[in-house]
């Protein structure tokens, strides 16, 4: 069975109603990334950070996967599929994907500060929510400036890809954006994005479409 590796970003969830980060009206237009997505921001104003993620979590519980998530999940009928996502939502899993690596953490998980003791969390998180040792609970999100614990696994997965699908990402954030360089030379790469970054690689087929229609195009290409 061929191995399809998928690198997804916020754009795959846009048609579900979740905002991307860097598009016009994206999350980083209304919020200062240094305030809400860094350990320094959390130390300075934890309530602001907790509320930012409370809002994201609440929205996540109101939305559903879209056809791009479902089409990616359905690839598992004919391929071994590994999804490496930069997204902190659980829409790939809800659509049925069984092998998802979350590079930047998960909104529905939490952990105490300075601890890797991950717990499930689906409600608002407040200042004063602490573990048995009295440590404040924080979202299980990889903030800027923090290590990306899943990156080594993601690199190894990319090395075994027969096909790479990049979908809905501006390819601005490293190390995630560098993963495409680990696929074997000559591996076909599809890049679905209505406003794609410039990727100078002759093996990249750029599909300038939204995630849902772009996935239909890729499936047609794979089965032709």
Positions marked catalytic? 104
- Other Cβ atoms within 10 Å of 125 Cβ, number: 19
Least separation in angstroms between residue 210's CB and ligand OAD is 4
Residue of 7, 21, 50, 157 that binds ligand OAD (CB under 6 A): 21
How far is the C-alpha of 171 from the C-alpha of 167, rounded, in Å? 10
| Both structure tokens of 84 | 């490496």
Residue of 89, 90, 106, 193 that binds ligand OAD (CB under 6 A): 193
Does position 23 interact with ligand OAD (CB under 6 A)? The reply is: yes
Give residue 170's Cα distance to chain centre: 12
Does position 168 interact with ligand OAD (CB under 6 A)? The reply is: yes
Least separation in angstroms between residue 47's CB and ligand OAD is 19
Residue of 5, 6, 7, 10 that binds ligand OAD (CB under 6 A): 10
How far is the C-alpha of 63 from the C-alpha of 118, rounded, in Å? 24
At 141 the three-state DSSP class reads strand
Size of the site for ligand OAD (CB under 6 A): 24
- Other Cβ atoms within 10 Å of 67 Cβ, number: 16
Least separation in angstroms between residue 208's CB and ligand OAD is 9
At 23 the three-state DSSP class reads coil
Least separation in angstroms between residue 58's CB and ligand OAD is 17
Which of the stretches 20-28, 51-59, 131-139, 158-166 binds ligand OAD when contact is defined by CB under 6 A? 20-28
How far is the C-alpha of 9 from the C-alpha of 220, rounded, in Å? 22
Sheet holding 80-85, edge to edge: 100-102, 80-85, 3-8, 163-167, 189-192, 204-207
Site string for ligand OAD, 80-109 (x = CB under 6 A): ------x-----------------x-----
The residues of the shown chain that bind ligand OAD, judged by CB under 6 A, are 9-11, 14-15, 20-23, 26, 37, 86, 104, 142, 168-170, 172-173, 193-195, 210-211
């Amino acid at each position: 069975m061929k191995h399809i590796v998928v690198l997804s970003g916020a754009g795959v969830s846009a048609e579900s109603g979740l905002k991307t980060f860097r598009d016009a009206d994206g999350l980083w237009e209304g919020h200062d990334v240094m305030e809400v997505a860094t350990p320094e921001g959390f130390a300075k104003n934890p309530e602001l950070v907790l509320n930012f993620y409370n809002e994201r979590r609440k929205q996540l519980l109101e939305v559903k996967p879209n056809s791009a998530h479902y089409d990616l999940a359905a690839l598992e009928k004919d391929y071994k599929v590994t999804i490496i996502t930069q997204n902190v939502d659980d829409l790939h899993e809800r659509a049925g994907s069984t092998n998802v690596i979350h590079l930047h953490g998960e909104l529905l998980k939490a952990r105490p500060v300075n601890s890797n003791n991950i717990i499930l969390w689906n409600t608002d998180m407040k200042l004063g929510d602490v573990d048995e040792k009295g440590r404040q609970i924080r979202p299980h999100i990889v903030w800027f400036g923090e290590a990306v614990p899943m990156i080594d696994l993601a690199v190894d997965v990319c090395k075994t890809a027969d096909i790479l699908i990049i979908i809905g990402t501006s390819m601005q954030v490293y190390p995630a954006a560098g993963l495409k360089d680990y696929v074997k030379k000559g591996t076909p790469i599809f890049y679905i994005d209505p406003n794609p970054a410039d990727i100078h690689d002759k093996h990249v087929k750029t599909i300038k479409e939204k995630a849902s229609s772009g996935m239909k195009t890729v499936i047609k290409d794979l089965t032709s």
